[in-house]
Every structure is written in structure tokens, then in C-alpha cells.
Structure 1
């Protein structure tokens, strides 16, 4: 089977590692460009609270600026540019995988074709893989998109691999951008309830399966194969 993974909060624990770093850097950039705050720390706590309930970074900054009554397109653009920028070359922040990721990926790669389709800055996404020590050789293809348009990417990949949607599994934490596009194509979908995946949970019938830990993947994929 073809198994397609998202990266952030699906294979690497972005929310639990570098997310706060990017949030603070974005806040500091907005303050330098004129964002009015009583104190940086108070504003940072407010920003984190908004982010904890937000489906993505862009929505975080949109809501934060609205709540701060400072809807400014320039501040919004600055925040997103900094938030999604690559980490500095000398940055040593650890970026761990989700629990059991190495074992699960190694096991699956023995009998399945694995791919990653992720959205973000290409340099940053590859940096995450490197820091998490995930071997690139496990994947037949790694695709990094600039914008959320995964349905087209899924479709192209299936054609390239000459494989049907019924033989394809897509795993991700975001229902709307990772899984619904795959579901529309007829792929099997598995929701990973991790990081932002805990913020927006799937509604009934939106996804085929939902799990909390990657270790649940092996028996679940075996179950899917038995049903084919």
C-alpha cells in the first residue's frame, strides 16, 4: 500500500518543541513594527492561549490581532513570515518525533511505500526531519507545498505511483487540510490526535479512523488490508 504522512504533529512533535520559539519570534517582530502591548510576556501568554485553540499559525495571528484590536495587514504578514521561516543556522532546539515514530516507520517501510506531503517552508521542514533523525531513505517521495492544496498533490502522487485510492492511506493531524481532500479522492484516512489535531476533532464520517498514538498504526493498517 501507499501510506502518505503529514509531517508536523504527525511524525514530528512540532507543537511540543519549536512552536513556542516561532510564536515568540513572531510576537517580537510585530512589536518592533509597532504592535502596542502592555508587556511582551503578557502578550506572549495571550498569543499562546489563542494558539492553543487555533487550527493553524495564520489563524492564530489573525485572531490575536483581532482580539488586540490591532487588525493590521502588515503586522499579520510580518508575523506569518517570521513564524514560517527556517530556524537560524545555530539553533539547537531539539525536535523530537512522536513516540514510536522511528519503529513504526521502519516497520511500515519493509512492506509499504511511504511518502510525506507537508505544507510549509521547505528548508524548515527538512530541518525538522534532520533534527528528529528520521531517515529520508524511508520515503519514496517527500513533497513540501507552499500552500494548502493537498488534494491536487495527492492526486498527482497516486498517478505517479500508479496506485488506486483504495490502496492508499493518508495520515495527518488536520482534518480539513490533510484528511478531507484525501477522503474526497477515496483514500483511507487516519486522524492523528496530536498537537493541533486535538484542537479540531473530526466530525462523524469525516475520517475513517482516529488514533492518539502512532503505535496504533500497525494493527490498524493490517485491519485495513484485511478488508480489501
Structure 2
């Protein structure tokens, strides 16, 4: 069996540990670039982010409310790609390492994430996730993961019925997988607490990664 994981909010606590830091960087950068708002308006950006599909979507929505100058948005977006500070803590999702190591003993693992390749690599290193756990690691450009999934199936020579995809955001992680006929597991965590639609693209839902073991124990997939 091939199991494809997402990274952010599936294996690492991105929304909890990293997003607040980068949102504040972006907010301050836009103010320096000429966005005329008060410091306490940052709370509004944080609120928008809670229900946004990505932090970049939240930033763009916030920017469009207060400005029409693209240079201001660009200033905020640019700092969201900056390297992780050494002293910024990044927690791993509870049980992630144990689950990965346990599943690797009997199955093939892959990882598909979207974003800046250097930054995504930094996240994995800081969280202690070894790339060697995965037979294939893809850092895609998006917006869809469908082509990335298809590439992995082809390269690793798996049929659709032999593949499970686990991620937190249904429209980004699971909908493209379901279009390929893959079995989907929705991890209700991080942004996945809000972005859990469409339900038709979810075969199973879990609230903790350790429940993946139950998926194999209770279901013939």
C-alpha cells in the first residue's frame, strides 16, 4: 500500500506555530510599505486567517479591504517566504513520527506539499521529520496536487486502489486524490477543522494520526 501524506497541519503544527509569526511579519511589512492602519488592526488579519484556506488567501483578502496598491500586498507576501528563525519553535503533530515509522515497516510512504521548496525543507528539518522516511517527496507549485499524485503513482508503480491520501484540507489535499480514484482520509486538524468540504471527497475521517493504524486494522482498502 502507498500512503501519501500532506505536510502542513498534517505532520507539523504550521497553523499553531508558524502562521502567527508570518502573519505579523506580513502585517508589519505592509505598514512599512505604506498601508495606513493601526497596530490593533492585526487582530482582524488573524481572524480572517482562521477561516481562510491558506494564510496567503487571508493576507490578500485583508490587503484588498484596506488598499488597492499591489506593492503593499507584494511587500507582505515577500516576507512570508523568508527563512525560519532558529529560535522559532515548530511542533510536530502528536504521534506523527511514531505513525510514519510504524507504517513505513509495511507500506510505502510519500509526501506531497505545496509552497516554497527551501521553506518546506526547513520546516521538515526543524520538526525532525527525516526525508528518508518517504520513497517520494514532492514540493509542488499548485494550485492542485492532482498532477503530483499522478506522477507518484506512475513513478512508484502503484494502481489507484492501492493508494491512501491523508491530509487536513479537503479541497487541496483530498479532492484531487478522489478525482484519481484514490482512498482519502481527512485529518480533522489545523485548517482541516474548517475546510472539510466536499464531504463526498472524504472516505474516512480521523481526529488523531494514530487512528491511521485503525484504518488498516478495520478496513480492507
Asked whether the two chains share a fold, i.e. TM above 0.5, the reply is yes
Does the CA contact (< 8 Å) of 2:171 and 2:198 recur in 1? no
TM-score by length of 2: 0.95
Q: Do 2:170 and 2:198's aligned partners in 1 also have CA atoms closer than 8 Å? A: no
Question: 2:72 is matched with which residue: 52, 75, 81?
Answer: 75
Deviation at 1:134, TM superposition (A): 1.4
Verify: 1:118 aligned to 2:86, yes or no: no
- Tell me how far 1:204 sits from its aligned partner: 2.9
* Superposition RMSD in Å: 1.4
Give 3-state SS (helix, strand or coil) of 2:82's partner: coil
Q: Distance in 1 between matches of 2:77 and 2:186?
A: 26
In structure 2, the partner of 1:85 is 82
Distance 1:98 1:77, change over 3 A: same
- 2:4 is matched with 4
Cα deviation, residue 130, structure 1: 1.0
> What SS does the corresponding residue of 1:84 show, helix, strand or coil?
coil
Paired residues of 1:172 and 1:190 also in contact (CA < 8 A)? yes
SS of the residue 1:16 aligns to: helix
Structure 2: gaps spanning 5 or more residues: none
SS in 1 for 2:125: helix
What do residues 47-76 of structure 1 show as CA deviations (whole Å, max 9, x unaligned)?
1111111111221012212333x1332222
Are 2:189 and 1:191 aligned? no
CA contact (8 A) 1:85 1:121 kept: no
1:96 equivalent among 76, 91, 97: 91
- Structure 1 residue 141 displacement after superposition: 1.4
What is the SS of the residue equivalent to 1:18? helix
Q: Aligned equivalents of 1:220 and 1:116: distance in 2?
A: 19
Mapping for residues 1-228 of structure 1, pairs under 5 Å:
1-38=1-38, 40=39, 42-68=40-66, 70-88=67-85, 91-224=86-219, 226=220, 228=221
Deviation at 1:167, TM superposition (A): 0.3
Structure 1 residue 147: Cα displacement: 2.6
Give the drift of 1:24.
0.5
